[in-house]
Structure 1
């Protein structure tokens, strides 16, 4: 069963009032905007947030604007926000399943957000067997994080799979969640420019299977608009 929501506050209150759980937010493209509003509110209240962004949609400048409107220093976002951008399904696998629980403990965070993971399975260079194995490992990790007191928010915008035979993974992904929300508000925000995800991209799948994922802290610095991933 899923709940239809209209504002970010509904999602935020539901996450904070419930026991630690895995929440899944999907629907319109406003899903990412909604999640960023939840993250900004937590950061304003000095609660560290870890974001794994597989959709290249995290907008720190938008959140910094919210900070300024509340008479808070945007640098506070950099001190408490931890963002890792992933460009292939294998990168997400390593980032989620290898050392994430330890990292979250080290930064004192009990909130994890994962953006756009399903987008990366629409790739014929990722075998079906790998998808099933990775989703199973992620389920184990999310269950462990929940037991450790973490509230996880999985976020997905509308999907248009080129590989139609993979559409059923949307149902499998929803199965990772304890609570499901569907947002029906479209904020019509322009998403960040996405990169390619196939093996012709500079992020090689073969390398990704071996590399160590990293959720890194954004170093304190003056907020400025740049291109590419945050470092």
Structure 2
């Protein structure tokens, strides 16, 4: 669908985790968009508050399509609290996947709601335990499943959340920008070590975070 493609393997099975700098949000989005087909949109669970319609419009124009065509292939659910994330994980997301026949699900900042200092550590851990079965179910249904973890990925008392997410994912990537006119270095940590370099032809390498 898109002319702009991050240099990643053509086949990524199971949940994939992208971490590193904020540019990981863009690389993960591009991976999620690979799963989009006519009638099978991308569902975005936006815990990072980072959905950027200007970035989407730029991607569409670079691919010679009207921005609205690409935007119409995306359904977004903004997640501002850990309990909104919990509600999605406990059934609302599965309902949306069925209703829209989603081709892909992209969790933007899947850990962000759990790293809120106002959320008790035990509560964050309880909600985190809902994540693995949801990711496995999506992968089993052949839904492209992508998680982005922009910084920070941890806080005192929650040091195990990010490593646990990486342990359950068959694919883990680290994303770093380099140079004055940034190149993006994508390093695969799992299942096998590999590194790719990407020179984006888009204006925004990292989406705006709408704090």
Name the TM tier (shorter chain).
Answer: 0.7 to 0.9
Aligned to 1:183: 175
Equivalent residue runs for 1:13-162 within 5 Å:
13-15=10-12, 18=13, 21-40=14-33, 43=36, 46=38, 47-159=40-152, 161=154
* SS of structure 2 residue aligned to 1:117: coil
Q: Deviations over 1:55-104 (max 9, x none)?
A: 11111221112212322121112321001111111111212332322311
Q: Distance between the aligned counterparts of 1:74 and 1:190, measured in 2?
A: 16
The structure richer in helix per residue is 1
Deviates more, 1:79-88 or 1:140-149: 140-149
Q: Distance between the aligned counterparts of 1:40 and 1:160, measured in 2?
A: 24
TM-score after normalising by structure 1: 0.69
Aligned to 1:227: none
Contact 2:56 2:71 in 1 (8 A): no
Q: Deviations over 1:94-141 (max 9, x none)?
A: 123323223112212121110112222222332222222212222112
- How many residue pairs align between the two structures? 181
Alpha carbons of structure 1 residues 76 and 190: separation in structure 2 relative to 1, 3 Å: closer
Alpha carbons of structure 1 residues 122 and 29: separation in structure 2 relative to 1, 3 Å: same
Alpha carbons of structure 1 residues 94 and 112: separation in structure 2 relative to 1, 3 Å: same
How big is the shift at 1:49?
0.5
Aligned to 1:166: 158
Q: Distance between the aligned counterparts of 1:31 and 1:147, measured in 2?
A: 24
Aligned to 1:4: none
Q: Distance between the aligned counterparts of 2:207 and 2:95, measured in 1?
A: 34
The structure richer in strand per residue is 2
Q: Distance between the aligned counterparts of 1:140 and 1:55, measured in 2?
A: 21
Provide structure 2 residue ranges, at least 5 long, that are not aligned to the other structure: 183-204
Q: Distance between the aligned counterparts of 1:123 and 1:106, measured in 2?
A: 31
Q: Distance between the aligned counterparts of 2:170 and 2:32, measured in 1?
A: 20
Q: Deviations over 1:148-202 (max 9, x none)?
A: 22121010112165x42322322122233222111233656363231xxxxxxxx
Aligned to 1:209: none
